[in-house]
Structure 1
Amino acid sequence: MKNKELEIIINNKLNTNINIKDYIPNGLQIEGKKYIKNIIMGVSACQKLLDIAVKFKTDAVIVHHGYFWYHESPIIRGFKKKRISTILKNNINLYSWHLPLDINLKIGNNVYLAKLLNINIIGKINPFIFYGYLKNKINIKNFLFKIKKKLHRIPLHFGENAPKKIYKIAWCSGAGQKFFEEVIKFNVDVFLTGEVSEMNIHIAYENRIHFISAGHHATEKGGVIMLGKWLKNKFKLKTNFINIHNPV
């Protein structure tokens, strides 16, 4: 498959043209070889992932966190120079899809979390926050155990005075802690996201709501995993998800 054809196909699948301002450019960020057969999938385009791509003579790398963030310096030196030099020297195509891969209703990060945790999706609180219900009311300890088992990490949990039985869940992959005040208006039992801020603990206590931080990386693996499986099944491309461990 041609590299630009792959970009169009994924753009269409993820509805990339939706009217949401993103923090980075989505799609083909660095152009490499014209034809693609082998693809490495990952969460972030770090040097470890690139080194693996070089080792396996990969044609393309597809990630959730790519380059050229709106708030970063445009100067390319140090570790950024090394990363980009690795890509250019080995003629690798670098693709990145950020918010489209969070909010997509079929292969997005939040849909993946719902499947892992057996949450029935009802709707959205805003374009980035999903909400839904568990099959039955369960103890918060059981829900935390399920997160640990499925995401392979111990989540940070705050909600010492919140009801022990939970049913209605709101969640947002990645850095969704900034939405907590918006979430509490919807009378949920739990808000699950990737990161945590100091203020979230006080908000959780004062509103008797469970707040769970399960890791930015851990909550954003699912989208690229499902995208890789879709590319493999539909277009017979060779895709391989590489999980570069990140405790954050």
Structure 2
Amino acid sequence: MNSQLFLSFLVVAGALACTPGADWAYSITAGLRQRSFVPAVAGLCGGYVLHTALLVAGLAALLAGIPGVLGWLTVAGAAYLLWLGATTIRSWRGASFGGGAADLSAPANQFRTFVQGMGTSGINPKGLLFYVALVPQFVNPEASLPVPVQSGLLGLTFVLLVAVVYSCVALLARKILHARPAAARRVTLASGIIMVGLGVALLAERLVPVLAPAVLHG
């Protein structure tokens, strides 16, 4: 693999991982409300592992090329973010941050947190587009490693980057805000609002082009 291409990928992928969004909001919420944020971060990473597997298998490009697939993924992702954001907003008033994190010792709760995290990143069409549109630009067809292997290594590198970034985000949220219950509640509310806002934006991105001609000709 070309070292210069790989370093360029690290810069771009690192910048994307450090860009706040739904993943950040979920990481912050996990850091504030849960005993361990590991299941949440693992779930977020699991979604990107799924995207990596699709990329290596060639299914990511196939799905992106099928008319309507990205549209339905956008609607599903938006609906999921709206539900997750609404759940966070509903729970923020009764959340307690001053005396210790919530008990997540039950395996069922940890698994649910993992699945929610995986859904947050895995169903996001932006993640699919990242792997379809961006990762192939850093693959060198003339390298000794086969293209699928290069694609897999780049995809897993991004998974490692987001694991580090999201863990830091969750840990900083816990360390900085855990001793400040009022501030923590405000951040939790903001996280829920961000998720809802992103869900609305995704729906608008999908529905406005469809509805606009009907309104103009109505």
Pick 1 or 2: higher relative contact order, CA cutoff 8 A, min separation 6: 2
Higher strand share: 1
Q: TM-score, normalising length from structure 1?
A: 0.23
Q: TM-score, normalising length from structure 2?
A: 0.25
